[in-house]
């Protein structure tokens, strides 16, 4: 996630190079997933020397990840080394070190500081005063130079156009971004660069930015607002830095997220399915953990705490990561892992006690994600990549043991869409509390009705009970739910989650606001406490200070 570091990058005069292509790089194979390693040239050199060169049996990555841009008057790292705040890129060097590998390219199009979208407007050839004449023409020429360079590499290139388009840190204007994406695709076509595929990558971030600018991840229709069109998007991408079972324990312990990670990730993959597009996890890393030191921190404040020498507490992140990949092989065709010691990069330095956004901690705390810095993580990572779902993998199933017991193999054919209709007769036992519970699948109720697949028109004191929710040996941190309300967006009410009956102990009581319409949904994640272990009943109760309709409830689940 190179947020602001590439603001000064620009295209140089580009001597074109030709590298022999491999038949394996023609496309991401159907039913297989290509593993990409990233994300700077030194990171990739170290990965080659310290992992691949030392172990001939370690699966070779099918691709590498690097970054560039088209802004004038600075370097772009294509043919000579470019160092921006400690982030070093040299495409020629990396391509030589990884012959035949595909390339996933993060094309930075923001212009922090300022957020005036100059690169996007220049691509659109607008007649704005700040880009009129030579400057605007230089942007457009740099774009063509960049595309021609990638065309002449002979590699399969996955161009992440304005990656993490919805990240508030990028300040992209929605309309400018969509229009510029279309122009980039048009230039690829005009230049005959058939080896370049476009990737439309969401930040899939756990906290909303300003909804006025559509940085509203909790909005279920968020992605549609940013989509430039089926005719110009080849791959749908996402970033995955956090996982449900652990993100509140360390990474988000000192902040309040507005969405649960897997809710966001599932939304992106389901969007890809709905548009018949393959998907790519374009960025992934266990942010705020350190594999060498075995400690962890919050992402917005460097408050590192020791993990007591227990590598499996970091391993849990990887276990969830690979489990998610295995569950979504129907749509995922590539995953890119950032194997970086972030603390060695000045851009990401953040001393103990520093807070994100301060001069000495501009991008928050990142830690060290290098797998070679911990022997147990390295061995398990190797076994995961040996899984035959990956290109270059030859073994059956996951096989790795991240400390939670021997994993079970996933179904060979995962469902292409999540279930949308509950059983006719809700089961009285054995429902996974961590899976989506459709609100209409209640076992008992008072005052509720079902309308269009949701529990509707709950009034003060109305309740619905859900029996047989199995928590097993896991302790949930949050309850996640989707609701709507015709009440004004300034009017508050409460939705209680109780253990057992409608008068049982309260485990969560989020205060909510109206959404203005029963068709305007919001997803909320709220902390829970004192959830009974094993299998239990959970009852939801609506509370307000009047007798009018309060809310409709679509679904909930624990995480």
**CATH fold of 23-385:** TIM Barrel (3.20.20)
Reference 287, options 348, 333, 362; nearest CA is 348
pLDDT in tens, 257-266: 999 999 999 9
User: Dihedral (C-alpha) 68, 72, 74, 77: value to the nearest 10 degrees?
Assistant: 30
Q: DSSP letters along 11-54, please?
A: ---------PPPGGGSSPPTT-BEEEEESSHHHHHHHIIIIITT
> Would you say residue 419 has pLDDT above 60?
no
End-to-end CA distance of the chain: 25
Fold match, 23-385 / 431-558: no
- pLDDT at position 21 over 80: no
The radius of gyration of the chain's CA atoms, rounded to the nearest angstrom, is: 24
| Share of residues in the chain with pLDDT > 90 (%) | 71
CA distance 150 to 76: 13
- The residue from 25, 97, 283, 523 that is catalytic is 283
Residue 217 has pLDDT above 50, yes or no: yes
Tokens of 337: 């892992």
What integer pLDDT is reported at residue 2 of this predicted model?
A: 54
Q: Which CATH class is domain 431-558?
A: mainly beta
113 confidence band (pLDDT: 50, 70, 90): low
Higher pLDDT, 147 or 434: 147
pLDDT > 70? residue 423: no
Q: How confident is the model at residue 395 (pLDDT cuts 50, 70, 90)?
A: very high
Both tokens of 158, joined, read 């996955």
Provide the residue ranges of all domains of the chain, joining segments of one domain with +. Answer: 23-385, 431-558
Quick one: pLDDT at residue 73? Answer: 80
**Residue 325 CA neighbour count, 13 Å, CB half:** 30
Active site residue 283: yes
Tell me the per-residue pLDDT of 457-474, one tens digit each, with 9 for 90 and over.
899 999 999 999 998 888
Q: Are strands 63-69 and 102-108 parallel, antiparallel or unpaired?
A: parallel
Strands (E), 321-374: 332-338
CA 553 – CA 483 distance, rounded (Å): 5
Say which of 164, 343, 384, 440 is annotated catalytic.
164
Q: Is 384 a catalytic residue?
A: no
pLDDT above 50 (res 102): yes
Q: Report the pLDDT averaged over residues 478-505.
A: 90
The whole-number pLDDT of residue 472 equals: 84
Q: Could you give the CA distance from residue 74 to residue 108 in angstroms, rounded to a whole number?
A: 13
Q: Using CA atoms, how far apart are residues 226 and 203, in angstroms rounded to an integer?
A: 12
């Amino acid at each position: 996630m190179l947020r602001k570091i590439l603001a000064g990058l620009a295209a140089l005069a580009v001597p074109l190079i030709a590298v022999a292509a491999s038949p394996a790089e023609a496309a991401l194979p159907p039913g297989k997933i290509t593993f990409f390693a990233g994300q700077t040239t030194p990171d990739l050199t170290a990965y080659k020397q310290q992992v691949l060169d030392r172990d001939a049996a370690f699966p070779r990555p099918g691709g590498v990840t690097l970054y560039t841009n088209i802004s004038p008057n600075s370097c772009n790292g294509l043919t000579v080394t470019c160092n921006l705040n400690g982030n070093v890129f040299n495409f020629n060097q990396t391509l030589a070190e990884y012959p035949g590998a595909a390339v996933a390219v993060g094309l930075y199009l923001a212009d922090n500081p300022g957020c005036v979208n100059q690169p996007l407007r220049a691509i659109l050839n607008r007649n704005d005063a700040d880009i009129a004449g030579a400057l605007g023409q230089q942007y457009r020429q740099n774009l063509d130079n960049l595309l021609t360079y990638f065309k002449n590499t002979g590699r399969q290139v996955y161009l992440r156009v304005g990656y993490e388009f919805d990240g508030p840190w990028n300040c992209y204007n929605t309309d400018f971004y969509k229009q510029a994406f279309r122009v980039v695709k048009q230039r690829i076509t005009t230049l005959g660069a058939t080896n370049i595929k476009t990737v439309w990558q969401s930040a899939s971030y756990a906290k909303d930015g300003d909804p006025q600018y559509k940085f509203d991840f909790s909005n279920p229709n968020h992605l549609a607002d940013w989509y430039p069109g089926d005719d110009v998007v080849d791959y749908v991408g996402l970033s995955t830095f956090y996982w449900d079972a652990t993100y509140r324990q360390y990474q988000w312990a000192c902040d309040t997220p507005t969405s649960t990670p897997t809710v966001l990730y599932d939304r992106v993959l389901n969007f890809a399915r709905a548009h018949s597009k393959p998907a790519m996890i374009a960025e992934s890393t266990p942010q705020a953990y350190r594999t060498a030191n075995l400690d962890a921190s919050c992402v917005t404040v460097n408050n590192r705490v020791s993990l007591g020498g227990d590598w499996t507490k970091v391993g849990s992140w990887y276990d969830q990561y690979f489990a998610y990949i295995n569950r979504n092989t129907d749509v995922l065709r590539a995953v890119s892992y950032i194997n970086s010691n972030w603390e060695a990069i000045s851009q990401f330095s953040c001393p103990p006690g520093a807070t994100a956004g301060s001069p000495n901690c501009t991008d928050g705390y990142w830690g060290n994600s290098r797998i070679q810095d911990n022997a147990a993580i390295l061995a398990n990572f190797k076994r995961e990549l040996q899984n035959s779902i990956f290109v270059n993998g030859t073994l059956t199933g996951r096989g790795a043991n991240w400390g939670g017991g021997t994993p079970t193999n996933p179904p060979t054919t995962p469902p292409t869409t999540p279930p949308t209709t509950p059983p006719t007769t809700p089961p009285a036992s054995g429902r996974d509390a961590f899976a989506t519970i459709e609100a209409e699948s209640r076992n008992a109720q008072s005052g509720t009705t079902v309308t269009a697949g949701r529990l509707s028109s709950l009034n003060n004191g109305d309740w619905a009970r859900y029996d047989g929710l199995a928590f097993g040996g896991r302790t949930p941190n949050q309850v996640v739910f989707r609701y709507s309300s015709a009440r004004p967006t300034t009017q508050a009410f409460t939705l209680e989650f109780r253990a057992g009956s409608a008068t049982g102990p309260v485990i969560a009581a989020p205060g909510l606001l109206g959404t203005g319409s029963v068709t305007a949904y919001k997803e909320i994640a709220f902390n829970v406490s004192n959830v009974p272990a094993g299998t239990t009943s959970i009852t939801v109760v609506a509370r307000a200070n009047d007798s009018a309709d309060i809310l409709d409830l679509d679904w909930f689940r624990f995480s």
